[in-house]
Amino acid sequence: MKVILLGSDHLYQMLGMSEPEFEHLFRIRADFDDEMDLEPASIKDFAGVVAFIARNEKLTPLSAGAVAALAEQAVRMASRRDRLSTQFNSIADYARQAAYWAGCESSSLVEAGHVRKAILEKRARLSMRQEYALNSIDRGEILIDTSGSRVGLVNGLVVLGGVDYTFGLPMRVTARVSAGREGLIDIEREADLSGAIHTKGVLIITGFLRGRFARDFPLSLSASICIEQSYGGVEGDSASCAELYALLSALSEIPLRQDLAVTGSVNQYGEVQPIGGVNYKVEGFYNVCRRRGLTGTQGVLIPASNVDSLQLDDDVVEAVERDMFHIYPISTVDEGIELLTGVPAGVPDSPGGLFPAGSVNGRAEAALRRMAEILRNFSREVGGI
């Protein structure tokens, strides 16, 4: 008798550590990827598996368009435009549901429209939490602006949901600043709501501020950053760009556009790094804007390195094509702050020199210098008493 076990790598490692004989009993291990490259050969294999499922389960035959629609969904599930998901249990579910809708129309073939209907119907069945959140935004219970400009406040983006259903939502990210020695205070961390990766992202922002502005004077700053109306745990660094923009706005006193939302992580050199769930996040802000009415100025800033991950819903793509909604790929913090403020970020007049006075960086630097001077004078006064 041969015994074959299927499971996750994490489970394999746990069994190996808890039972010394496990690796001796199961000597041969093979890793299986849940994605494959998107290329002609893999598309052919994908179509073959779908056809096998249809024959094996006696489903209505699928047209080429239906197979293509399933492949599009597999690309979305893989979160990369050059990859296909191999989670065929989920693909088979969509094929079964599409066949049901084809039967309702007495169609001899499952068409692309039936696949799209199956996808939309599944979302409708599982979207109660999303609808509740969107209704809360509509009623003003969750505070989100999609027009105007505010100082120290920007729309961040989060991904919520579980195994069966995932969705994105905008959430306010705010910053307040003053002279002091406390540095950057992460309110989520102080409230024990922050995970280790989110805390690391906040510390990276402090490193960015020191490296960019405090080369010849001490960073004498007390600042708090907060993801507003977040009452559960916060994990991940995908809000670090938004947190930095809110902080730069608070320092420079230059308002940020509220018709834009931001996602992306940042490193100490101000480079914008890729994040997960980019499709859900873009669609999350789009849904809020759509319900309020698209203005033609709204959009989302995403990391340029996430462009290959975009596989957006048809209505979002259509809105972008009509120039009613926008997606801005950015590679640096400076690119993003210029989009959010309409003010030049500013480049030093020489290596290690000063930033232009009217630029975002120049005004932030001037504010930090004033804070250092305030603290220096205060320390002298206290010391002289």
Instruction: Please list the active-site residues.
Output: 238, 281
Return d(Cα 193, Cα 235) in angstroms, integer: 8
Tell me the backbone φ, ψ of residue 232, rounded to 5 degrees. Answer: -115, -175
Return d(Cα 43, Cα 345) in angstroms, integer: 45
Select from 240, 263, 287 the least CA-distant residue to 155: 263
On the CB side of 226, how many CA atoms lie within 13 Å of its CA? 13
Q: How much of the chain is in helix, strand and coil states, percent to nearest 5?
A: 50, 15, 35
Return d(Cα 129, Cα 270) in angstroms, integer: 35
Burial of 217 (0-12, 13-18, 19+ CB in 10 A): middle
The residues, any chain, with a CB within 8 Å of residue 242's CB and separated by 6 or more, are 154, 155, 156, 157, 173, 262, 263, 264
DSSP letter string, 227-254: ETT--S-B-SSTTHHHHHHHHHHHHHT-
Cα 115 to Cα 112, 233, 258: the distances in Å are: 5, 36, 36
**Six token digits for residue 258:** 């509220």
CA angle, residues 30, 33, 36, in degrees to nearest 5 = 135
CA 209 vs. chain centroid, Å, equals 23
